[in-house]
Amino acid sequence: MTFISSLAMWFSNSKGKVVIEWFGWQVTTSPSFLITSVVLIFFFIYIVLSLILSLYNIPKKTLLKIEKRKKNNAITALNEGIIASFYGNKKEVLKNLSIAKKSLNDTPLLILLELQNSLYKGDQNNTFTLLTKMLDIKVLKPLAIKSLIAYSIKNKDQKLFNNILNKSLDKKIDFSWIQKDIFKFCIQNNNWNDLSNYLEKKNISKQ
């Protein structure tokens, strides 16, 4: 506004006139008034456009804040659900899982919480599906392998046992992590050939 006042004062000392003709209309004015009017019009347009843009962005900013709050609540629920699973609070696990699933995708911790809830419910089909999904997630793979070997022991599933043994050939899967379960399956099913083949493959993979 200081700039506009200075500009108007400067032009007020200038002599001359400006004649504007538009569709038969003729307007005569001084250069100072014309320039000041143009500047004021542009300033007014700028203010109006800024206001319109601010009003347009308000819903978007509000939605972003709501989404951020929901995600933070989901992360808090996920953490509390994982902790609740350690002391066997089934109600809290289910409650926090429901909240977390609304805003989080299939993160490793969310899948782990889903697995725990499925185990509490005794839903074997869903448990098996989740464990199979965990095989493709690097950080969950060791846990999935151990759990699926236990699953094969429970169901005396020879085919599943062999498949999981092959999956465990990954160099990052320590044999000591699953050896107790492997020996248990072999003893119960009198199946040592598969163990022998597995150990041979394991030794080759280390070379």
Of 125 and 10, the one with more pLDDT: 125
**What span, in angstroms and rounded, lies between the C-alpha atoms of 23 and 45?**
24
- Model-wide pTM > 0.95: no
- Six token digits for residue 6: 């200075």
Residue 63's contacts (CB-CB under 8 Å, 6 or more residues apart) are: none
| Nearest Cα to Cα of residue 143 among 166, 110, 103, 177 | 177
Q: What is the pLDDT of residue 84?
A: 92
In a domain, 150, yes or no: yes
CB atoms near residue 130 (< 10 Å): 22
Instruction: Convert the pLDDT of each residue in 3-51 to its tens digit.
Output: 555 555 555 555 556 566 666 666 676 666 667 777 888 888 888 888 8
If one counts the domains in the chain, the total is 1
CA distance 71 to 100: 8
| pLDDT value of residue 141 | 92
What pLDDT does residue 7 have? Answer: 53
Residue 132 lies in a domain: no
For residue 1 the two structure tokens come to 């506004």
Q: State residue 94's pLDDT score.
A: 92
In a domain, 40, yes or no: no
180 in a structural domain: yes
Least confident of 45-59, 68-82, 143-157, 173-187: 45-59
What's the pLDDT band for 66 if we cut at 50, 70, 90?
A: confident
pLDDT for the residue 127: 92
Look at residue 186 and give its three-state secondary structure. helix
Task: Read off the pLDDT of residues 171-201 as tens digits, 9 standing for 90 and up.
Answer: 678 888 888 999 999 888 888 888 888 888 7
In a domain, 23, yes or no: no
Assigned token pair, 189: 């099913």
Domain residues for the domain of 172 are: 138-207
Matching residue, tokens 């151990």: 146
Q: Rounded to the nearest 5°, which phi and psi values hold at 26?
A: -130, 125
Q: For residue 62, is it within any domain? A: no
| Residue in the structure block whose two tokens are 């659900």 | 81
DSSP class of residue 107 equals -
Separation CA 105–CA 22 (nearest Å) = 63
Res 202: pLDDT? 73
**Residue 163, exposed/middle/buried by CB under 10 A (0-12, 13-18, 19+)?**
middle
Which has the higher per-residue pLDDT, 65 or 204? 65
Window from 30-34, 67-71, 130-134, 165-169 with minimum mean pLDDT: 30-34
Asked whether residue 146 is assigned to any structural domain, the reply reads yes
Q: What is the pLDDT of residues 78-114, one digit of tens each?
A: 999 999 998 889 999 999 999 999 888 889 999 999 9
State the pLDDT at residue 44. Answer: 86
- The whole-angstrom separation of Cα 144 and Cα 137 is 9
Average pLDDT over residues 59-86: 87
**Tally of residues, the chain:** 207
In whole angstroms, give the CA distance from residue 195 to residue 77: 42
Determine, yes or no, domain membership for 198.
yes
